[in-house]
Amino acid sequence: MVNPPVARASTILFETLADLDAAIRDPDAGLYYGRRGTQTHWALEDALTQLEPGAAGTKLFPSGVAAITTSLLAVLKAGDELLVTDSAYEPSRTFADHLLAPLGIAARYYDPRCGAGIVDVMSEKTRAILLESPGSLSFEIQDLPAITQVARARGITTIIDNTWATPLRLQPLALGVDISIQALTKYVAGHSDLLMGSATATPELWPRLKAATYRLGHHVGADDCALVLRGLRTLALRLDRHEQSALAIARWLESHPAVDRVWHPALPSHPDHALFKRDFAGATGLFAIVLKQGSRPHTAALIDGLRHFGIGFSWGGYESLVLPVELDRIRTATRTDLPGPIIRLSIGLEDVDDLIADLDAGLARYQAQF
């Protein structure tokens, strides 16, 4: 078989008491109990570990959010402080505010563009920093080497949500990050038919991540692992297409009279383009535009009539999606003064001319309101 078999299991049977005792002595040596995974899970974990130079291992989770929350719980304890980028995915923030805070772990939010200035936000209680680069709504690129250098010098763990880039476009551990997380739900699975997360750790952090995952009881089904492995086989090809189409559309939008700015880090006009060029091996297909005028209710004229863009959360699938975004409702450490609403686009694998024609008609409907 080219692919590992889909091995579904809760119970594993042992031939003899000696076999059972050997497994208890070394539960990671082979099959033990379903929650420790089967060959199908290990094949996906090993593949993800191999994609991250410097990694000791990968754990799988029932969603990207579960990968983030477990990684944080693995490294934080009561009395600690967590620094969270103001550009973080909103459920990462709500976990910190609503579940970590009652456990005595305080979260503070920082400007994603702070770079080595992160030191000014730290206190002696800071034990972890949550990064996300680019932010999946606002697309700031973080200066990862500058931040991780400051963190490592103080023994502070850094954890990144690397869902936008995937390890094919950014290798965070090589830049000093300790745990690299992906919502496999997005580009890696790639077909909008399942949720899964992964966390990949350095040798120093791996034992804690592994133990926290097991103790919190996380498990994913072998069938979903097989689907994610299938997605991984074509990830490089799909990302190239997402990247090319998104860049073509982003450039076209940059010169559209209704558009104030385009937030795509691979465009030279993006404020963090130099950092992007330095650290990333390429781009993917998610970016946002800011319109020159209007407010959220006006965006219905644009998005309701789009033929090729579905209105929905998530991204990274084969199909294009559109989502109006309200940053100031989410953020606490930074504000952006914008002339009009933000529209996020996830560019899928459709024909790029069809997508441009669709957006062109939508922007004409938008403009006609003023």
Ligand X SMILES: Cc1ncc(COP(=O)(O)O)c(C=O)c1O
Residues 196-235 that bind ligand X (CB under 6 A): 197
Interaction of residue 192 with ligand X, rule CB under 6 A? no
Cα–Cα distances (Å) from 35 to 11, 194, 209, 213, in that order, read: 9, 19, 15, 10
Q: What is the DSSP string of 81-112?
A: EEEEETTS-HHHHHHIIIIIGGGT-EEEEE-T
Question: Could you tell me the end-to-end alpha-carbon distance of the chain, in angstroms, rounded to an integer?
Answer: 61
Is residue 179 a contact residue for ligand X (CB under 6 A)?
Answer: no
Residue whose Cβ sits closest to ligand X: 64
Query: Residue 195, interface with ligand X (CB under 6 A)?
Result: yes
The answer to the question of residue 341 lying near ligand X (CB under 6 A) is: no
Nearer to ligand X, 71 or 157 (CB): 71
Query: Minimal distance in Å, beta carbon 286 to ligand X?
Result: 8
> Which one of the spans 57-65, 78-86, 121-129, 352-360 is the region binding ligand X (CB under 6 A)?
57-65
Q: Does 64 bind ligand X (CB under 6 A)?
A: yes
Integer angstrom CA distances of residue 346 from 23, 131, 190, 287, 311: 46, 21, 12, 7, 10
Shortest CA distance to 128 belongs to which of 86, 82, 85? 82
| The one among 45, 161, 178, 224 contacting ligand X by CB under 6 A | 161
Identity of residue 359: L
Active-site choice (161, 178, 224, 279): 161
Choices 59-67, 70-78, 98-106, 201-209; region in contact with ligand X by CB under 6 A: 59-67
Q: Which of 38, 163, 166, 299 binds ligand X (CB under 6 A)?
A: 163
The residue among 345 and 363 lying less far from ligand X, judged by its C-beta, is: 345
Tokens of 286: 């998610």
The whole-angstrom separation of Cα 118 and Cα 280 is 21
In the complex, least distance from residue 154 CB atom to ligand X, rounded to whole angstroms: 26
DSSP per residue over 299-319, as a string?
Answer: HHHHHTT-SS-EE-S---SSS
Q: Alpha-carbon distance 355 to 216, whole Å? A: 43
Please say if 19 is a catalytic residue.
no
d(CA 117, CA 111): 9
73-99: burial string, b at 16+ Cβ within 10 Å, e else: bbbbeeebbbbbbbbbbeebbebbeee
> Minimum distance between the CB of residue 227 and ligand X, rounded to whole angstroms?
14
Q: Quick check: 89 binds ligand X (CB under 6 A)?
A: yes
User: How many CA within 13 A on the CB side of residue 136?
Assistant: 23
Q: Smallest distance, Å, CB 89 to ligand X? A: 4
Q: Which one from 8, 21, 35, 307 is the annotated catalytic residue?
A: 35
Decide if 125 is catalytic. Answer: no
Q: Is there binding between residue 138 and ligand X (CB under 6 A)? A: no
Q: Does 65 bind ligand X (CB under 6 A)?
A: yes
Decide whether 235 or 363 has the Cβ nearer to ligand X.
235
**Catalytic status, residue 97:** no
- In the residue annotation, 89 being an active-site residue is answered as yes
In the numeric block, which tokens belong to residue 362? 């939508």
Minimum gap (Å) between residue 91 Cβ and ligand X? 7
Question: How many whole angstroms separate alpha carbon 63 and alpha carbon 163?
Answer: 12
Footprint on residues 265-324 left by ligand X (CB under 6 A): 314
Residues that bind ligand X (CB under 6 A): 63-65, 89, 136, 161, 163, 183, 185, 195, 197, 314
